[in-house]
Structures are given as C-alpha cells and as structure tokens.
C-alpha cells in the first residue's frame, strides 16, 4: 500500500508537469498568435491611413488643377468678348477708361477669388482690383493648358497665381488668384487628426500654402535651420529631397510640430505627390501625427497583454479575447467604410460646388450679353430708321442708293445677331406651356426647312403621331428643330440626306442617369441625322458652350445649340449627340410624354 503512494504521487507530479507544459505551450501559442494579430492589425491601420493620405494628395492635386483651369478659361473667355475687344481697341488708341471699366466689371463680386486684373498692350497698362506692390516669385512657364502661369507675391508676403491669356490684337489679360483662396477651396477643409495638415510647396521648397499662416513663405529646410540650428533635420531632409524630385510616395519620418513654441519633436507620416502646372510643378503633402494612428493599436496591445496573463488561470478568457478581437476588427472595418463614405461625400460636394460655379459664370455671361444687346439695339434703331427714310426718298438710279442699301442690310443682320443674344440671355418664365403635339410641331418646322434648303439636299421624315403629346411650347419645339436642321444643312455643303424620325419609346438607357427611375415612363424621341462632315471629340465637348462655333466668321454666333439645350431642359427633356468625322452627325432629343393627353386629336391642337 505504501509502495503505491510514491507511484501515484509520481503520476500526479507527471500529470501536473504535463498539464503545466500544455498550459505553457498553449500560452506561448496564444501569445504568438496574438502578437502576429497585433502586428497585422497595426500594419492594416497604418496601410489604411497611408492610402487615405495618398487619396487626399491626389484629390487636392486634381482640385488645384481644375480650380486654376476654370480661371484660365475665365481669362480666355473675357478676351473673346466683343466688349473686351472694343476696350482693347480704345486702349491701343490711348483711351484707357473703357478697359479699366471692363476689368472692374469682370471682377465685380469676385474680389475674394480674383484680387487683381491687369491688361497690357505694349507700354499701355490697365488694371482693376486691389492695387498692391506685386512682384514675381517664380515664372512657371506656359503650355497648352495655361498660356502663361506665374506665382506672385505682395508686400505682406501673400502669394498669388497669375494666369494670363493673349488677345487677338496682341494684348495680354492677367488675373491674380489668391493662393489662400485656392487653399480654402481645395485643402483647408480636410481633417486629419488633431495636428494634421495639407501643405503645398513650390519646386524650390518654399511653402506657398499652409493652414498656419506663419509657415507660409519660408523655405521648408533653410529657414528652419536658421531659426533652430540645433535640431535634427536628417529625416526631414531626405523627405524634402524626394518631394522636390517630383516623386510620389508615403514616408514615416521624425520632425517637429513647427507651429508650436518651442517646436515639439514628433514622428509623422507624410504622403506627397507633384501637381504639374505648365512647365513647373508644386509638391502636395498630407501630414499626420504617427502617434494618432498607433495610439488605438497600443491601447489594444495593453488589453491583449492583460488577457494573455489571465489565460494562465482561466482558459475561458482566451475565448473572450478572440471575441473581443473579432468585435474590434468588425468595428475597424465599419470605421474604414465610414471614412470612405465621408471622402466620397466630400468629393461629391466639391463637384456640386464646381457645377454651381459654372452656372454662376453662365448667368453672368447672360446678364452681360443682355445688357450689351440692349445698348446695341438702341444704336441700331436710328441707323435702320434713317436708312429706310433716306431710301424711301432716293431713286434707284442714285449713285448712293446701293451704299444705303448695304448700310440697311448690315444693320438688319446685326439686329438678327442681337436678337439671338437677347433670346439666349432672356429667362424662360414668360413662355406658356400647354399640351402640345410634338409630331405636329416638328412637321411644321420641316415645312420651313424644306423651303430654305438647297436643291442638292434631300429631306426624309418619318413621324409617329401616337403618344406624341407633351406639356410644352410648340414655338420652342419648332425653334429646336429649325436650329438643328439648319446646322445639319450647313454641315452638308456638297449635298446629302437629312433624316428626321420621331416615335414614342420607353427608355432602355439604364446607364444614363437621366433615365434612372423613369423606366416605366414614355418619351417621344426625335432623331435628326445628317450625312455631313461630322465632328471630332474635341468639338463635341464644346458644341453646347455659348458662343462656340465652327462656322466661318460672320456666318454664326455660337448660340444656336446653346439655345436648343436650354429649351430642351425647360421641357424636362434630354439631348444627346453622336458624330464621326466624315460620316455625319445625329442629334437625339427625348421629351417626356404627357400620357393623360395622349388621345388629343390634331384638329383640337392649337
């Protein structure tokens, strides 16, 4: 009996030792698994933040390009205006007041976006806006995107983009856009932790845009070394070297929070990439505190360590830890999805701001053209009146008779152009809409087109009158068709075939946002197809822009298609165009059918 006790004790000892070894091995295994999971979790968060910073720099770079392109187009559009050309002609003869007035009117209400406007022609200088002591900081050159681009500065140390456009007469119009305004529109609203920021430097390392104004204008390395010579700049120097070499990347480095007094040393994460403007570039940097990224991970590590220690005595805590880890991973994925959604909403908001800005510019053009048209009508009225009066009392054999006819004819043509401009700038509120047979309105428009077309052009039409009633204006529908047919006839100078088709359909273009949610509604589709010379992509992208025309000088105003698009929009419709050079063009209009009135007969149509 006593001999069996040592054997049992030994077995118990061996069992305890084996159990201890198993528990120790399990603990080591759990510790290894948790360490690897922690490392993976940390790397996942870091990679996610790196991707987010890269996306931010890409977004800021794209926003800057789009923002500056819009002002470049503004400068080019201003030089194309008749009012500008008239003022330029006056300036070339020594009269500066018209150009000064034009510049003041051009930037009126936009002084926060355009600080200063200047026109130069030889030694002649006209200007408007904030007149400061501006000087060149650097010339960024010119290319197809920017005729001339430069960076300016004033006596306060503020920076500006200078965008220039050459006029047809050899003058130059320059606009100064404050960089702080560019920064507010493209980068300042982006949140990156407590201390994060977006910084923009030129290709020499001078800070042009920063959320802290005291940092603007300094050399990112040289000026800081002068102020803090004992600081360690080794890792910052490498980062700046890569940025000024036009590289794109993400780096973790040690630097300082320069806005604090004194600057606090910290580890940072910076994503950077260049934005190429003309012949030069700017470096976009998105910087965030590394500790803000890792703090959550470090807190998780402490909790994991405590759970691992408790597993020595309570094995069930191991399962609890796994549950906790899974919960955190799901939470982390939800946070990533939320951040992605926020970024998408910010991008959508920016696109909406750009659309609103474009609409405001078009509204400004409409207001200006309406005023100009009114003044020209006042000038043309006495010319036409007196010309008619003189002709009525003049014999056709008179040697001045043909000259007076030419004066009257030119004035009448000018009045037609002014009427088109007035029609484009006028709001559509006074137009009455009523149940309208689209097919009948198109047929009447084709009668006029048939009467004025050349003999070498054939017109074919096929109009289905079923389900062709819409809530619209027959005069406006008539104008749409006549304008499009006139353009088609012009495109077939050597002859050809003009085909007009119309029928009611249900849309199948599910990829077109216009038809989403309208799959069960009826639309009347009007197709106007010609066999003319067609258009390339560059022309197609601009045909609906007011005052853009491919016609010869004196043959078109560039308002026809813009008016058509405005009228189609007023009818809650859609216009699409397809074209291929050498093979012709097809315009397609979709107008919503008013199904309640689809039984109306043509006899009751007015």
What's the whole-number mean pLDDT along residues 187-202? 86
In this predicted structure, the answer to whether residue 560 has a pLDDT above a threshold of 50 is yes
How would residue 541 be classed by pLDDT, with cut points 50, 70 and 90?
confident
Bridge partners for 74 per DSSP:
none
Measure the CA–CA gap between 173 and 106, rounded to whole angstroms. Answer: 11
pLDDT of residue 200: 94
Measure the CA–CA gap between 221 and 238, rounded to whole angstroms. Answer: 11
Measure the CA–CA gap between 59 and 512, rounded to whole angstroms. Answer: 26
Q: Give the length of the chain.
A: 606
What's the whole-number mean pLDDT along residues 583-600? 80
How would residue 599 be classed by pLDDT, with cut points 50, 70 and 90?
very low
Name which of 60-64, 121-125, 439-443, 556-560 the model is least confident about: 556-560
What's the whole-number mean pLDDT along residues 485-490? 88
Tokens describing residue 199: 């910084």
How would residue 361 be classed by pLDDT, with cut points 50, 70 and 90?
low
Q: Using an 8 Å Cβ cutoff, are 104 and 128 in contact?
A: yes
Measure the CA–CA gap between 507 and 223, rounded to whole angstroms. Answer: 64
Name which of 41-50, 185-194, 427-436 the model is least confident about: 427-436
The edge-to-edge listing of strands for the beta sheet with 584-592 is 457-463, 496-505, 523-529, 584-592, 574-580
pLDDT of residue 120: 93
In this predicted structure, the answer to whether residue 245 has a pLDDT above a threshold of 90 is yes
Q: How many CB atoms lie within 10 A of CB 397?
A: 6
In this predicted structure, the answer to whether residue 461 has a pLDDT above a threshold of 60 is yes
3-state secondary structure 61-101: HHHHHHHHHHHHHHHHHHHHCHHHHHHHHHHHCCCCHHHHH
What's the whole-number mean pLDDT along residues 353-362? 64
pLDDT > 70 in the chain, percent: 80
- Tell which phi-psi region holds residue 507, choosing left (phi > 0), alpha (psi between -120 and 50) or beta: beta
Stronger pLDDT, 99 or 432, i.e. the higher one: 99
How would residue 563 be classed by pLDDT, with cut points 50, 70 and 90?
confident
Q: How many CB atoms lie within 10 A of CB 119?
A: 25
Closest by alpha carbon to 51, among 275, 200, 250? Answer: 250
How would residue 428 be classed by pLDDT, with cut points 50, 70 and 90?
very low
Indicate the burial class of 592 (C-beta count within 10 angstroms; 0-12, 13-18, 19 or more). middle
Task: Give tens-digit pLDDT for 139-163.
Answer: 999 988 888 999 999 998 999 999 9
Q: Using an 8 Å Cβ cutoff, are 282 and 201 in contact?
A: yes
In this predicted structure, the answer to whether residue 59 has a pLDDT above a threshold of 70 is yes
Measure the CA–CA gap between 30 and 35, rounded to whole angstroms. Answer: 8
What's the whole-number mean pLDDT along residues 125-131? 90
Task: Give tens-digit pLDDT for 286-331.
Answer: 999 888 877 766 666 677 767 767 766 775 565 556 556 556 666 7
Task: Give tens-digit pLDDT for 251-286.
Answer: 999 999 998 889 999 999 999 999 999 999 999 999
Q: Using an 8 Å Cβ cutoff, are 142 and 149 in contact?
A: yes
Return the half-sphere exposure (C-beta side, CA atoms, 13 A cut-off) of residue 580. Answer: 1
Tokens describing residue 163: 């965008």
Q: What is the mean pLDDT of the chain?
A: 82
How would residue 367 be classed by pLDDT, with cut points 50, 70 and 90?
low
What's the whole-number mean pLDDT along residues 10-36? 65
pLDDT of residue 365: 66
Please report how the helices 438-452 and 474-491 are oriented relative to each other, as an axis angle in degrees rounded to 10. 40
């Amino acid at each position: 009996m006593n001999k069996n006790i040592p054997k049992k004790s030994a077995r118990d000892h061996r069992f305890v030792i084996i159990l201890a070894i198993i528990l120790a091995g399990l603990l080591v295994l759990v510790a290894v698994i948790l360490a690897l999971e922690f490392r993976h979790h940390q790397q996942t968060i870091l990679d996610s933040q790196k991707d987010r910073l890269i996306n931010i720099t890409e977004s800021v770079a794209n926003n800057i390009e789009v923002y500056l392109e819009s002002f470049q187009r503004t400068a080019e559009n201003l030089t194309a205006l008749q009012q500008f050309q008239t003022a330029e002609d006056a300036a070339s003869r020594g009269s500066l007041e018209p150009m000064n007035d034009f510049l003041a009117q051009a930037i009126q209400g936009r002084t926060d976006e355009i600080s200063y406007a200047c026109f130069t022609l030889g030694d002649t200088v006209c200007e408007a806006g904030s007149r400061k002591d501006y000087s060149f900081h650097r010339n960024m050159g010119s290319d197809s995107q920017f005729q001339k681009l430069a960076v300016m500065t004033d006596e306060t140390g503020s920076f500006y983009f200078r965008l220039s456009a050459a006029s047809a007469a050899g003058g130059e119009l320059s606009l100064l856009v404050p960089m702080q305004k560019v920064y507010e529109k493209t980068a300042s609203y982006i949140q990156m932790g407590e201390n994060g920021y977006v910084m923009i430097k030129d290709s020499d390392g001078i800070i042009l845009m920063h959320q802290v104004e005291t940092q603007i204008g300094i050399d990112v390395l040289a000026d800081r070394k002068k102020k803090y010579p004992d600081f360690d700049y080794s890792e910052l120097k490498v980062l700046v070297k890569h940025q000024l070499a036009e590289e794109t990347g993400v780096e973790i480095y040690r630097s300082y929070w320069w806005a604090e007094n004194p600057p606090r040393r910290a580890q940072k994460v910076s994503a950077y990439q260049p934005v190429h403007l003309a012949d030069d570039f700017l470096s976009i940097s998105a910087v965030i505190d590394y500790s803000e990224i890792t703090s959550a991970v470090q807190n998780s590590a402490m909790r994991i360590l405590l759970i691992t220690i408790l597993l020595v005595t309570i094995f069930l805590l191991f399962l609890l830890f796994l549950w906790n880890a899974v919960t955190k991973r799901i939470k982390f994925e939800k946070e990533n999805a939320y951040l992605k959604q926020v970024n998408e909403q910010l991008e959508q908001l920016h696109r909406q701001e750009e659309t609103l800005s474009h609409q405001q510019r078009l509204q400004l053009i409409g207001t200006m053209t309406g005023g100009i048209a009114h003044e020209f009508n006042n000038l043309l009225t006495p010319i036409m009146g007196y010309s008619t009066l003189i002709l009525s009392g003049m014999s056709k054999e008179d040697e001045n008779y043909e000259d007076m006819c030419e004066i009257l004819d030119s004035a009448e043509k000018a009045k037609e152009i002014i009427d088109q401009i007035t029609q484009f700038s006028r709001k559509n509120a006074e137009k009455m809409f009523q149940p309208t047979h689209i097919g009948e309105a198109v047929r009447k428009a084709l009668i006029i087109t048939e009467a004025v077309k050349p003999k070498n052009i054939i017109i074919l039409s096929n109009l289905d009158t079923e389900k062709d009633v819409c809530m619209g204006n027959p005069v406006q529908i008539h104008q749409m068709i006549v304008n499009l047919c006139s353009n088609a006839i012009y495109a077939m100078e050597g002859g050809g075939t003009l085909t007009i088709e119309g029928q009611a359909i249900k849309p199948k273009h599910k990829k077109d946002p216009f038809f989403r949610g309208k799959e069960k509604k009826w639309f009347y589709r009007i197709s106007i197809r010609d066999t003319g010379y067609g258009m390339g992509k560059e022309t197609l992208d601009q045909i609906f822009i007011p005052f853009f025309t491919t016609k010869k000088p004196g043959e078109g105003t560039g308002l026809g298609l813009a008016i058509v698009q405005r009228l189609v929009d007023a009818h809650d419709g859609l216009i699409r165009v397809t074209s291929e050079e050498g093979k012709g063009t097809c315009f397609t209009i979709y107008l919503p059918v008013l199904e309640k009135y689809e039984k109306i007969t043509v006899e009751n149509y007015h």
